[in-house]
Amino acid sequence: MALEMKIDTKTKGEYAILYIEGELNLYNISELKEALNDIIQNKESHLVLEMKKVSYIDSNAIGILHNARTKLHTLNKELYINNLSPELLEILQIMGIAFPVIQLD
Q: State the pTM of this model.
A: 0.89
Residue 103 pLDDT class (50, 70, 90 cuts): confident
Please provide the size of the chain in residues. Answer: 105
User: According to the model, what pLDDT value does residue 1 have?
Assistant: 46
Closest by CA position to 65, among listed 47, 83, 53? 47
Assign domain 5-94 one CATH number from 3.40.50.1100, 1.10.1740.10, 3.30.750.24, 3.40.309.10. 3.30.750.24
* pLDDT beyond 80 at 6: yes
48-79 tens-digit pLDDT: 999 999 999 999 999 999 999 999 999 999 99
Closest by CA position to 62, among listed 102, 93, 101? 93
Domain ranges of the chain: 5-94
Q: End-to-end CA distance of the chain, in Å?
A: 36
* pLDDT beyond 90 at 20: yes
